[in-house]
Chains A and B, each alone.
Chain A
């Protein structure tokens, strides 16, 4: 036993020293920090993408293709987790009365039911704001989507048996089925917007309708594609994360 622990400690120590020896020159260098990309984006980012939040100019403009990849990573991770959760035996079972068994557990009180139900609309509204205004302020689709998902979770908690959440369990507006349809459509939207040329086509369409004539006159690209991408990513992330959480709460067994 003791020898095993010693051996593990020695292995760990050896692993750490090997890693350090290789990584030290990389992280402890005193080379000047690169500035070219920073300066280019600071100078041209707004004009090229229309986004005043330069972070979104990068991840939804210049490097939107990487973001598509990360969205896919999230999609696969969530789909894999949902499949794992669905195949796990011994998840919380729903009563015939419509509430998960763990709603009677010590952690689930009337106070949580009431507050979760009341907070849900506010959280959903905030999530929508974060999602829609990512091009001008910190936030965007990924962050807004996660906030939206917490709103849906609040609804799911608030509507449990004994709770006074206003959505009854029989209404499935936020049930797993709707969530997966939203997820699929949002993913298709993000995909369509990410194809080279479609962003420019959308921007052209927006300019043609005169919706952003004022900005275009100043030589700034229409920000429409970035907003559309934020909405698509927000709905995709929100529905995906919410779906996983609702399933973990036993919501798919209704």
Chain B
């Protein structure tokens, strides 16, 4: 098998799995259908690991560039399989595999779900490797469509509306993506990133206003998928109302892959650096603003969804710097966030299903409720604790390493302090969420499993436990061996090896400070005025028109800023 065929396997293996699963759907049940579906899932989610292992030596040797099926570079579809592609594939497969395992226990089940899920896994790999503008459009379309269907596969009230509003706003944004694509094709006559770069350099004005506006259109359309401020409004509903396994992959993986694809694209464009810097600053604001909103939530999964926006803000902030070392920090946090946020969605989802309520202010005695649903060894509680301590950036877990790596990039500036404050609010927010483990109040119904709204007959089965166990062990392992992981990621991204380790005295002191400040913020948030403020933030008006205006406003600001630089 040639290098280029090998590099396409992470895309084609999940598709082959999807084809098998589609056949299983056509058979309408039975042992054969189940066998087909299971082998489809194995081919789609397990075998790509072998392809990635085989690609590693080639990636370390500098990566592979090719056009699909070997057509000429001027017309064919360019692909680039390098360290970034490899890492983003690892992120996608880890998140997708663990979440799928969970779905086998707690749904959604069935060949249709597996088919769409595998197609999404394939589109993630496709997005990571593409180096062609139109191909990127196709990738984003598949990613989007698969997520709309997966969100709607939840039977919760509001999920259809959440999926529809996500569809409407990102489809509207994709129109602008197409305009951007048209603009670049108009001035350069090619669709491959390298071709566009070469043609723009040859032009006297570097593409002029068309190139600037097209860059803004492309970047804004992809930023919607990443859910950075101000275009994050679709995410909380979609991620909170989706089935837990889908929430885990949406928050863990789906908002990051487009970001790294955008980074690859902007690296080739003349005003790309400026666009990245601007989106990066928006990321810092996102990290802080979203965590404040998260702190005010009473729905447990919505709280987690706002934290996804906040954490992606950290990733985007580092990503915006563009340098390989910053990219390594951004990837590390993206990867760790996929692990711990996946873990949090799965564990909190299990708890809320068992308890029958998602209200953080009401749900108490979670450990006992879980025990009644078959979690004898408190595994779900431990999984939650690992996830919460990771996102709170406490040593020795992985969030500690990546948040410090990002903080280190901004040492001394306003961004550093904004991210520090966001970290403290994250601590406060998870102290609040952890109150679900407090003993049940007197007067509350003794048998929480009998509350209306709990999933009838929920048994916390082996696959659910296994998926949480895998994610929790990865959180601990990447935390304990943070320095080795950082070194490996830096090497794959061509960044210099980082100076100093994660566990320095200064970082440990900072963790203590964050914890103390977080506890203070938590106290404020739980006070009467704090609760009133939280209710006001929760009740702020949100509308679809607001989503559209936020997108267009963001686009206009980006375009104006790029035009000024240009």
Contacts and interface: CB of A to CB of B under 8 A. Distances in A.
A26 B152 contact: no
A111 interface: no
Most buried by A among B4, B68, B180, B182: B68
Interface string B146-188: 1011001100000000000000000000001001101101111
Interface string A1-28: 0000000100100110011011101110
Interface in A24-61: 25-27, 29, 31, 33-37, 40-41, 48, 58, 61
A27 B119 contact: no
Interface stretch (A131-139, A145-153, A166-174, A191-199): A191-199
Interface stretch (B209-217, B264-272, B337-345): B209-217
Contacts of B72: 40, 62
A187 B22 contact: yes
Given A76-B149, A80-B116, A25 B545 contact: no
A36 B190 contact: yes
Given A80-B116, A199-B69, A184 B149 contact: no
B116 A79 contact: yes
B135 A65 contact: yes
Interface stretch (B12-20, B52-60, B359-367, B524-532): B12-20
B553 A73 contact: no
Given A188-B23, A191-B12, A191-B15, A83 B76 contact: no
Given A22-B216, A73-B138, A80-B116, A29 B186 contact: yes
Question: Per DSSP, are chain B's interface residues mostly helix, strand or loop, or mixed?
Answer: helix
Size bracket, chain A contacts: 35 or more
A80 B12 contact: no
A77 interface: yes
A227 B77 CA distance: 21
Interface residues on B, range: 35 or more
For the complex, would chain A's binding face be called helix, strand, loop or mixed by DSSP majority?
helix
Interface in B49-71: 68-71
B556 A79 contact: no
Given A26-B210, A69-B135, A83-B153, A34 B70 contact: no
A33 to B, nearest CB: 7
B77 A184 contact: no
A230 to B, nearest CB: 17
A61 B71 contact: yes
Interface of A: 8, 11, 14-15, 18-19, 21-23, 25-27, 29, 31, 33-37, 40-41, 48, 58, 61-66, 69-70, 72-73, 75-77, 79-80, 83-84, 177, 180-181, 183-185, 187-188, 191, 195-197, 199-200
Given A18-B553, A18-B555, 4 more contacts: A22-B213, A29-B186, A195-B12, A197-B5
